[in-house]
């Protein structure tokens, strides 16, 4: 899954990965939302990271956000590319335009129901969302790559909340048979468990639909829907010992996260 997702690289999120692997997880793009507490809310202006990729090499990223009042208009990545946002008449995000990439958003009433992301020359990801009592309960993502040997993959993740924090996600996956079209599920599952601080998450300042869209591509990042910051992440896979990552966190005077560090890797937030 990650090979295709890395081609969507625009935003960095601390994910449930071993410190010697890719701490940032996967990337996506921002979306629009107006905070309910506009007078009190901060704005996330910049995210910077110094993280290792799958090959163990450092990749530095810097993302800056542009607003008009409380409205997110666009953002710029460290290559200088500007990513623009369009909206429906009811002020819901309808599309994100990025270089060689487009994401289309669909809604069921006020809830995000589907995001279809197309990457030129790479493939397509279709993520559908289910909710229970206003909380995310499941995401099903279909990933279709293009090329000489196209592959169609299936990812299903269920989520558990305690209060306003997502405490666990369980992901199972499969591949569609290229000849019969039948879905062949893997016996392996991945369970990610989160332990939290009591401080404020910078991701709550970003649009809820943005966070949901990102999790549709990288379900191990489910903690970004939470009110607080994950400071301990445990990843358990079938027939493998658990992998535990503990972060060193720093905060500003308003108790918002400003930095998260594991060894020589970090991600920082500016408001």
pLDDT in tens, 4-14: 333 333 343 33
Provide the pLDDT confidence category of residue 41 given band limits of 50, 70 and 90. low
Please state the domain extents for the chain.
2-270
Q: What's the average model confidence in pLDDT over 189-204? A: 96
Which parts of the chain are beta strand (E)? 46-52, 58-68, 71-76, 82-87, 93-98, 101-108, 111-119, 123-132, 135-145, 152-162, 165-176, 183-196, 230-237, 243-246, 248-251, 257-262, 265-270
Q: What's the average model confidence in pLDDT over 240-248? A: 92
In percent, the amount of the chain with pLDDT more than 90 equals 54
Architecture label for domain 2-270: Beta Barrel (2.40)
CB 45 within 8 A of CB 64: yes
Q: What's the average model confidence in pLDDT over 79-95? A: 86
- What 3-state DSSP class applies to 202? helix
pTM for the predicted model, two decimal places: 0.82
């Amino acid at each position: 899954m990650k090979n295709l997702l890395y081609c969507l690289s625009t935003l960095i999120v601390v994910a449930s990965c071993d410190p010697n692997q890719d701490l940032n997880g996967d990337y996506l793009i921002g979306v629009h939302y107006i905070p309910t507490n506009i007078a009190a809310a901060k704005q996330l202006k910049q995210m910077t990271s110094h993280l290792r990729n799958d090959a163990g090499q450092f990749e530095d990223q810097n993302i800056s956000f542009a607003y008009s009042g409380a409205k997110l208009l666009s953002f710029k990545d460290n290559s200088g590319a500007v990513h623009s946002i369009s909206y429906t008449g009811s002020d819901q995000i309808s599309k994100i335009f990025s270089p060689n990439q487009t994401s289309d958003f669909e809604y069921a009433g006020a809830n995000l129901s589907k995001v279809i992301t197309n990457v030129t020359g790479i493939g397509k990801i279709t993520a559908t969302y289910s909710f229970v009592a206003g909380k995310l309960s499941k995401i099903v993502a279909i990933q279709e790559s293009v090329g000489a040997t196209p592959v169609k993959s299936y990812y299903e993740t269920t989520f558990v909340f305690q209060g306003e924090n997502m405490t666990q996600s369980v992901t199972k996956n499969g591949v569609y048979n290229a000849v019969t079209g039948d879905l062949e599920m893997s016996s392996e599952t991945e369970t990610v468990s989160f332990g939290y601080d009591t401080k404020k998450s910078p991701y709550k300042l970003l649009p809820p639909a943005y966070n949901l869209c990102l999790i549709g591509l990288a379900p191990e990042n489910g903690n970004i829907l939470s009110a607080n910051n994950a400071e301990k992440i445990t990843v358990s896979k079938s027939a493998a010992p658990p992998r535990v990552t503990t972060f060193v966190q720093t905060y500003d005077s308003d108790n918002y996260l400003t930095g998260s560090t594991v060894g020589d890797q970090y991600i920082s937030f500016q408001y």
